[in-house]
Amino acid sequence: MISATDWVPIGVGEMEDAALAAVRSGGSALVVAGPGTGKTELLGQRAAYLFQTGTCIYPRRILAISFKRDAATNLRDRVGRRCGPALARRLDSMTFDAFAKQLLDRFWRALPEHVALAGGYGIAPFLKSAYLADLQRSTADGLDRPGHPAHWAKTLIGKQPEPSGIHGVTMDAFYKSVQSLCLHPLDISSYGAFLQLVQLRTALVSPAPMLGFAMIGRLAQAIVNANPEVRRAICATYGHVFLDEFQDTTSVQYGLIESIFKGSAAKLTAVGDDKQRIMGWAGARMDAFAAFEADFLATPGARARISLTRNYRSNQRIVAILNTLKAHLAPAEPDFVAVRPAPDLPDEKICAVMVADDAGAEAEAIAASVAGVIAEGVDPRSIGLLVRQKSVDWEPRIKARFDAHGLAFRNEDRDVGGASIQDLMTESYSQIVIDFLDLLTRRHGGLLWNVAMGHAAAVANLTLDDEEAVERELALRLDEFHRAHKIGATEQMTAGAIAAKIAAIEAFLGLERLRGVAPQYGTGDLFVRIRAATSAFLAECAAQPGSWQDLLLRFRGVGQTPLMTITKSKGLEYDLVMLLGLNDSEWWSFDKDPVEGHSTFFVAASRARERLMMTRCGYDRSAKIREIFDLLDKAGVRQIRV
């Protein structure tokens, strides 16, 4: 144990004073962490501080809620590196959806009677407009038919909905209405929320209920609100809570956190940046920061809002551009401070808008730019191709020119049998399988031997430093497995051979133990889907000729430049960011919500470490996003013909 006064940050040269204050905070804190300011590092150091100083007293745990699965995995790994695997096991790092689903799956029998669930359920797919029309028609027709879900819902709320109001709900209003819904105590404040209640009742009385994640969150909140003992049990487990990417918190998510932890002894650390709030379409609250200040910072020991300003990611020129964008989004906030100078290059080589005559010329400019920086020695994985809308639409637009330059790119958003490629790369199950396959291709393990030992120990819930005899026994088992299943130089890479190796790995580690390596695998079908997606993507990668090592390199994306939406790029960074299609056709929704549009552009620009290049077709309109071009002009960013 280390005293709080003697504790120092681990594995980093320095932290700015504001970050260190947040790490050492004795109460709840709201940290405004702009791009590149090290929010994941801050949370990792705070976890280390809480564990190593005994501030988070054993057996209490830390709950870390992230917006994306890769962010949850990154934080879990960071804490493991900062304070070791034994202490890191007391961190439960997961997405909000996984947390809410875990609560529902564990406590579903405690649901209030009017929303009681019979048992199992599935995850509902994204609904289409035709479904809403059917729901509206059925609801209006069933209002006065006893036994119909609409009649049940009408009776429950004690009001007579009008058919015209039911039919007047748009798709957008229907999706967002779950954010204002409360199931216990019941609060139905709109026709959209009434339709959500009818949809829920329809699911609950069906033989195979299907629930969306937002409704799962509302059901979890109903359990907590109706059962004080459940709330007490959760608060007794978690003494500290981390909320990452807090700017994208929805009302459903905030409502559950508030129901559990408001007024408790738990200390909450919310980290985010309202300048990067780009999930308004998914229900992100505009007032999440103000609500947190009112609900959690009025307690003794809580810190006022803390702002981080040191940007460790981007060079000085890009930081200057970000400050121009920030001045529009948050003029009262302090400017970012660059830690690194800009390279000795003309400004247009660091940041520019490349204007092409047509789509073909734009694709050539993109491919040529990527080829140029790769020739300079930049790793293709350190280049990010970002798009505003669907990345799948850009694949055919740029493929021919990339092929002509001998380049490879990969759409990280593409679904490969139950998960996107990007998600698959950070899933614990996939990483373990790939690392073990990699070990089996090697005559001698080397560093991979240590990686495999770490995986085997984690799966078996062992700490290698505890007992030498335990480590020796595990090493002998791994050596026996390696000798029995090693992949020879002439062994054929077939679908059957891949399936056999995966089966051997699962048998060695134990399938149920593999399910236990990540909290999100404990309930529902996520583990099944990740297993299936891993096998499917390996089979796809094996369709190309090459060795087993080539297979693993393709799976990991080595040598392939990632293509993804701006939304999917959050939390990532690249030496070169290429923002494709800076035109009205890609940014068609900008004028509907200019604030979110500016935030989306800010997110894209702030992914860049060394260079930020944008492309547009000169013939396409750009009137809707004139404000963005005005800000770029103000920042001195030139438009150049290509």
303 with 323, same domain? no
User: Is the Cβ–Cβ distance between 398 and 367 less than 8 Å?
Assistant: yes
Q: What pLDDT does residue 530 have? A: 94
| 301 annotated ligand binder | no
User: Is the Cβ–Cβ distance between 367 and 402 less than 8 Å?
Assistant: yes
Q: What pLDDT does residue 523 have? A: 66
Q: What pLDDT does residue 303 have? A: 84
Give Cα 243 distance to the centre of its chain: 12
Q: What pLDDT does residue 49 have? A: 97
| 39 annotated ligand binder | yes
247 with 278, same domain? yes
User: Is the Cβ–Cβ distance between 289 and 605 less than 8 Å?
Assistant: no
In a domain, 375, yes or no: yes
478 with 443, same domain? yes
In a domain, 409, yes or no: no
User: Is the Cβ–Cβ distance between 46 and 93 less than 8 Å?
Assistant: no
- What's the CA gap between 408 and 562, in Å, rounded? 9
| 48 annotated ligand binder | no
Number of domains in the chain: 4
Domain containing residue 33: CATH number:
3.40.50.300
C-alpha separations of 455 from 63, 199, 368 in Å: 22, 43, 41
426 with 550, same domain? yes
In a domain, 163, yes or no: yes
Q: What pLDDT does residue 445 have? A: 79
- What's the CA gap between 458 and 452, in Å, rounded? 10
Q: pLDDT below 50 — which residues of the chain?
A: none
Q: Which residue's entry shows tokens 């050492």?
A: 24
User: Is the Cβ–Cβ distance between 133 and 127 less than 8 Å?
Assistant: no
366 with 431, same domain? no
237 with 297, same domain? yes
539 with 593, same domain? no
| 185 annotated ligand binder | no
88 with 232, same domain? yes
In a domain, 304, yes or no: yes
137 with 89, same domain? no
Enter the pTM of the model.
0.88
* End-of-domain residue from the set 291, 308, 325: 308
User: Is the Cβ–Cβ distance between 532 and 418 less than 8 Å?
Assistant: yes
In a domain, 205, yes or no: yes
C-alpha separations of 168 from 161, 165, 190, 194, 629 in Å: 12, 5, 11, 12, 38
In a domain, 4, yes or no: no
316 with 303, same domain? no
In a domain, 459, yes or no: yes
Phi-psi region of 245 (alpha: psi -120 to 50; beta: other; left: phi over 0): left
pLDDT one-digit tens code per residue, 289-339: 999 999 999 888 888 899 999 999 999 999 999 999 999 999 999 999 999
* End-of-domain residue from the set 279, 308, 337: 308
Domain that includes residue 515, residue range: 421-556
Nearest Cα residue to 555 out of 458, 412, 404 = 412
| 38 annotated ligand binder | yes
302 with 383, same domain? no
537 with 433, same domain? yes
* End-of-domain residue from the set 526, 556, 586: 556
In a domain, 118, yes or no: no
